[in-house]
Amino acid sequence: RLWRGVGSTRRFATAVDSAHPYHIKVAKAQECANGLCGAIGNTPLILLGGLSRETGCKIYGKAEFMNPGGSVKDRAALYLVKEAERSGQLRSGGTVVEGTAGNTGIGLAHVCRAKGYKCVIYMPNNQSTGKINLLRLLGAEVHLVPVVPFDNPENYNHQAKRHAESLKNSVWTNQFDNIANRLAHMETTGPEIWAQTRGKVDAFTCATGTGGTLAGVTRYLKEASDGKTECWLADPPGSILHSYIQSNGKLQEREGTSITEGIGQGRITENLARELDLLNGSFTISDIKTIAMVYRLLDEEGLYVGASSALNVVAATELARQLGPGKTVATILCDGAHRYSDRLFSKSWLREKKLESAIPTALRKYSIL
Ligand code: PMP
């Protein structure tokens, strides 16, 4: 009936809008993505209501768990592969090799599948079968190698490098020191946060694994805001970066460990090296605060995120308190809790890690495994 009035699309729109207001939302939907690679990035920036009310600030988490591979590392994976193509190291039918125990491997496996490359992943042999199976079903060739430190030539990173060197038309993507990783966040994550907050972002904080996210977002936000956006590192126990920053550049031995995965660093990676001077400061966040925030975000916001996301939100909240009411603080929700549910939501695991008492009694109902 509505279409009979051809020539009057305006009347059509009005009729539909008033009768079915949800159609207005459809008009605002994102553009179509060109394949999996086109669907990486452009994630929502989620206002965390409870923490925002509590601090009088706006605290936002960038929903990186909504990337196709489920984490912030999809962005880096795409840029690492694009850089290898641009430099001519990787041509049609080639092989991407990386040493990774986590999200980067999953991101690379997705991107390689979508672009028709082979993907070879080296990882320590103490990783969960869930992760290994996922990589294999995405088509990656997985090599499990003994757990040895970085300075041992048999460490998974060095084995990945040697594997790539032994093949023609192949690349070792080297996420830690390849600055295409940082560029992904300088060109996408940073600008998205700036646009989504309409340039009103007083502070940003996140933890680092390779450092790509922190360095890239910091570089962009500092430039866009004329240095006004404060950028802070959030460090888990066992990482050397917080003490490195606090002591004006003294490298100390790693001390302590953390339940967080994918974050914490024992050295200054190439991705971080140039941006450390831009940072306004750093926090170290205890596992007790992190695990409590995993449960709080689930209970209060319905967000099912991993420990690094929770650590980031604790840091964003501390930053908001430090800056005072009325400010806007952004951070990264790096991935979902799916890959860690058998730990984060397991009673016996919490007991083993002496973290049971960190969960407020009312929220213990979520540790059901
Ligand atoms: N959180 C998780 C769950 C990760 O896997 C990683 C990457 N290892 C990070 C945070 C840190 O990201 P980046 O490597 O950009 O520092």
Atom of ligand 1 nearest to the CA of 265: 16
pLDDT in tens, 37-92: 999 999 999 999 999 999 999 999 999 999 999 999 999 999 999 999 999 999 99
pLDDT in tens, 256-300: 899 999 999 989 999 999 899 999 999 999 999 999 999 999 999
Reported as a pLDDT band with limits 50, 70 and 90, residue 26 is low
Backbone angles phi, psi at 10, to 5 degrees: -65, -45
pLDDT in tens, 109-145: 999 999 999 999 999 988 878 889 999 999 999 999 9
Q: Which range has the worst mean pLDDT, 22-31, 278-287, 353-362?
A: 22-31
- For residue 14, the model assigns a pLDDT of 45
Atom of ligand 1 nearest to the CA of 185: 15
Reported as a pLDDT band with limits 50, 70 and 90, residue 243 is very high
- For residue 322, the model assigns a pLDDT of 98
Phi-psi region of 168 (alpha: psi -120 to 50; beta: other; left: phi over 0): beta
pLDDT over threshold 70, residue 202? yes
pLDDT over threshold 60, residue 4? no
pLDDT in tens, 146-173: 989 888 999 999 999 999 999 999 999 9
Name the residue of 72, 217, 261 whose CB sits within 8 Å of the most ligand 1 atoms, as the mutation to test its pocket. 72
| Residue 108 CB less than 6 A away from ligand 1 | no
pLDDT over threshold 70, residue 24? no
Sheet holding 45-47, edge to edge: 45-47, 58-63, 328-333, 203-206, 230-235, 281-284
- For residue 321, the model assigns a pLDDT of 98
| Residue 290 CB less than 6 A away from ligand 1 | no
Question: How far apart, in whole angstroms, are the C-alpha atoms of residue 20 and residue 175?
Answer: 48
- For residue 300, the model assigns a pLDDT of 98
Active site members? 73
pLDDT over threshold 80, residue 3? no
Nearest CA to ligand 1 atom 8: 262
| Residue 306 CB less than 6 A away from ligand 1 | yes
Ligand 1 centre and the CA of 339: distance in Å?
Answer: 14
| Helix, strand or coil, per DSSP, at residue 24 | helix
| Residue 74 CB less than 6 A away from ligand 1 | no
User: Look-up: residue for tokens 């600030």?
Assistant: 57
| Residue 312 CB less than 6 A away from ligand 1 | no
pLDDT in tens, 211-240: 999 999 999 999 999 999 999 999 999 999
